Structure 1
Amino acid sequence: MTCRSVRCEEHELRSLFLFEKLGSDQLALLCREGRVYWFDPGTVYREGDPAACLFVLFEGTVILSRRVGGQDVDVNRSSTRGVYAGAFQAYLGDQVPQVYNNSMRVTEPSRFFVLPADTFAEIMHEWFPMAVHLLEGLFFGTKNTQQAIGQRERLLALGSLTAGLTHELNNPAAAAARAASALRERVAGMRRGLGQIAADPHQRANLDTLTELHANAAETISQPPALSPLQAADHEDAVVDWLEEHDIADGWQLAPAFVQAGIGADWLDRIARALPTDMLGPAVRWLNCTVETELLMNEIEDSTSRVSALINAAKQYAQLDRAPQRRADVHELLDSTLVMLSQKIGPHIRVVKDYDRTLPRIPCYPGELNQVWTNLIDNAVSALDKAALDSSDADGTLTVRTARDGDRLLVEIRDTGPGIPPGIRDRVFDPFFTTKPVGEGTGLGLDISWRIVVNRHSGDLRVESVPGDTRFQVRLPLTPTDPDTPQETS
């Protein structure tokens, strides 16, 4: 970038809206301390460099850009006289890092009034002391408000997830408790039945046969058939008929457990052939107790496994036992978030996982990415809930897709909801902007997500939306952008 300075004219400074109310002495001071420069097309300053000057445009065209995911994204373009950029927060001094928060380039020869940052800070404090205090309050007040509401947003999400997790844990826990109570009764019945059989010398000789039949039944129970309700009812009728034919009372109470375990009339015939007729009734009842015992133990095992899986998902989601920054499998993070949000995903929503399992682990902050997935999936569910309310028979689809996109990993959260109107699509990532009813959203979910993806992970977050197809796309680097990023894969 080449530039040349020219003389500063007080009357020309007064023509700029920023200085039009200043007195002659003030304008003279500005001309003494500042300079007017012509800049040829190119970069004037870069984002992140020390903020050394305030630039005020006389003529030309400026473009401001921000660094997003390793690329410069234009955020503003102007040819308006008097627009300013650069060190305009110099009045805050060392309270904030004094670096340029964007990059500026000119597309044609452009002329600026350039004022050193320290001079601008001194002038602000000397000429506008009250305004400086007001601006400081506004700056830090807004920053603190964003942090407080951001924390509130996280607490609201945590409360919602906790309620859902509690509900999900309660179901298998209650099932295990019911099964354990019933198991106690069945074990008592087994003891009584076995005692009655052992007390009869004629029946005692068949205990080995009963034990073998029980072992065979246990093998059958381990692989029960998958029956529809209609098929199960037909099988129960057949078992009841068999029991009545063999003079075994209350067959309707015994049949469900036998059918659930995969034991039908053919299997019962094996019992009838193996045992004397007078022992058949007590033996069938004792075997029914053992079958129910096995079924109840299976139910307890399934329930406790479900509890364990939920706890593991919650631990994976919260990343409580992991380093804050590490290499992680994004699919594990997505799955744990879906489990945590399962209570919010109603029966009218079909979840589709379109994963590319060949994708490698990526360097990231897993706990923070889970917050991004939570925000995006929660918004998609809200959109689908709204669509369901608008049309009572509307079923929605939530699709979570991963794929490779060049040197990046793509995560796409897609819903078939009503879409985002074009007029507000550019504002969805703005702080405090929300389309949810008052009290249901803070408007910081997507802003926080954008900051996590872009600022923390050097990634990219964007949205595409038409009615029936809204896609939030997150692109994350496959390789570290920070040399301090951990390289381990465990």
Structure 2
Amino acid sequence: MSISLHPDTPQARTAPSAAAAGVVPGEAAGRGIRTRLFTKYVALFVAVVAIALLANGLFEVFFYYREHKAALIRVQHEQAEAAAAKIGQFVKEIESQLGWTTQLPWSAGSIEQRRFDAQRLLRQVPAVTELAQVDATGKERLRVSRLAMDATDSGIDLSADPKFTEAVAHKVYYGPVYFRRESEPYMTLALAGARKDAGVSIAEVNLKLIWDVVSQIKVGEHGHAYVVGPEGRLIAHPDISLVLRNTDMSGLAQVRAAQAGGGTLSDALPEARNIQGQKVLTTSAPIEPLHWTMLVELPVEEAYAALYASLQRLAIVLLAASIFAVLAGIFLARRMVGPIQALRSGAERIGGGDFSQRISIKTGDELEGLADQFNDMGARLQESYADLENKVERRTAELSETLEQQTATSEVLEVISSSPGELAPVFYKMLENATRVCGASFGVMNLWDGESFTIAADYNVPAAFAASRKDVEIRPRPNSALAEVVRTREVVHVHDVRNTPAYLAGGPAVRAISDVAGARTIVIVPMLKENELIGTIAVYRKEVRPFADKQIALVENFTKQAVIAIENARLLKQLRERTTELSQSLDNLRTAQDRLIQTEKLASLGQLTAGIAHEIKNPLNFVNNFSSVSTELIDELNQALQSASLDGKTKEEVDELTGMLRSNLEKVVQHGKRADSIVRNMLLHSRAGSGEHRPSDINAVVEESLNLAYHGARAERPAFNVTLEREFDPGAGTVDVYPQEIARVLLNLISNGFYAAAKRKESATDGFEPTLNAATKNLGDKVEIRIRDNGTGIPPEVKAKLFNPFFTTKPAGEGTGLGLSMSHDIVVKQHGGTIDVNTEPGVFTEFIITLPRQMAADDTPGGKN
């Protein structure tokens, strides 16, 4: 590996600080960097190897631990299930042998045969030490035993013993484990015969053979199996002394969990502590049909011995790998630090401005390629540095041009804001800035009226050219630049006027532009409003020099601002005209308002008279029509009565004619009274007040109105009965009013309340009782009167028009629509009070009147309008 650092040219430079210190740049820093890189590389290699090995080892140990533990639990579970199956089979065989003793029914001659069968059972099944046979009534008839004397017809009554009752009920009975002479475990097994008269055979079974099965189960070196009963008592254990002591195992967590799971341990409790307090790996299996549980336990230390050995091997391998990684890291770090230091030193020199120096590294790998890239970068930087100043100058010029354009735009906007509605200064400022920023000689703005152009503004235009075009309409000629703008609505850029077809064809307008004004290069930009041409802005140069795209874009921006200015001016003019019109309309409105106030009384009187005439017409027509009909009926009735044979009419038909006559005459009278009432209301309302205002007791006025309205309603509807409620405030006292007018208002409101209550009564089916409440209240300088009924209520749409003249909800011919309107006028206009209504449809209606205690000094009847 070869490393060097040298300049390619004699003009190579070194950093001033390094030269002043007399040290190669980066040398002192390189030593420090090398030390840190060395340490990092060594640590990195060690960490990579150690982490890889450690991760692999941990994963191996983790999965080995899970698999080993699952395998141990599986083996133990299989052992427990096998042992449980042996014990279950042991009990089932005894149960099968015992079944032979229940085949014969009980009789006087069967006792010897049963004794023979019992002795044969004791010989064939060593676990059975005693057999008792009970008849169907529960009496012991025979007992054969290995440990005691045989007995025949002992007469012992077992009819209430579970041995008998449970066997009869369930065909088989497994008794609890007990210890005979505190030495050997026993269990009672009772079996009922298939026939009812076969009785029950009861065997006492020695469970020592179960202990033999449990003792033979080998679980590792120090593991063992044991059996517990439903209550957690130890039934079989390799240590027989624990069984003889009747040990209770229910305190162990694994025993409780197995019993809770029906004899099977859940995966959540694979490890627990045995009765000696040692941590064990445990599993279980149920023993059917005895409801016992077989548990198998193995000490954890023995179960995980192989895992601990694997961890030791992993630690040895990890230590050896770490030592190897340290040695490899030291070797590789030494090989890499040198080239990296050379690269750092070279980069520092390039950063100091020495673009001519070159880095030489001969390693044949990526570091050598990186050095070559540094050398190429230095060469490119050296080349680009020379061109950097030119680029800065060009960029500065572009920024200056942009700033100038923005300044020109802001000046135009300032003129637009300072001269609203005035277009001449705005157009001039646009042309001035467009000509200046674009480096043009002069500019012209034309407005288009659909047929020709007129000059709206110009800037720096030559005098001769301006004089030739003053007050002249310019019509675009074919093939001219203006004609092209009108046709395409797009920008037209003429690089040289003298090379255009219009100039070559001798067009006077084009030759005037070139020959008189001296223009050679032109750009014409249309002013568009929603694609509608309204004018153009044209800038001219006297030399052949095309405009740049940015300059054309600036002129386009000016055209948009010009369109906005024209539109603003138009809108401002319309606004001023509309303001003048509105001012004139306001004056006319005020004049009309004065005239309306003068004619208000006459109009109201005319409306009132027209409404009353309309209302009188219906009842009077009814009176006229039915009068003629009644006359005909009377003539026909008289003729019928004078005829001896009644002209074929019976007595009943005559009565019917008489009834019709009476009904029509009653209607005539009723409508006549109605017409009279309308006329009286008209006369009273036209008087605009009755009598003079005077202090009156408001409670007495309300009471009098209440009585008059009540008796009037009873006269019209004798069957109608309404409950009157009074809540008069003694403090209400006297009020300065027109008593007759206020009484009219109260009579109207109370009558309406009676009408609404009667209307609801007619449709009610729930025992509805109509009531009307009249109340007064002292409000200091005012008095409040409330008239409330529990009638049909008022809908919202009716409430809004309640006090309008001629508005009524009653059927045709029953109301004028003037009552509430007159009441409103009397209370508000005549007395200066208020009248309002509070209602809920179908529930109630309440009118609220507020009257001032003292009327104003200038109040006269009808004085308030």
TM-score (norm 1): 0.38
Ranked by relative contact order (alpha carbons within 8 Å, sequence separation 6 or more), the top structure is 1
TM-score (norm 2): 0.22
Q: Which has the larger radius of gyration?
A: 2
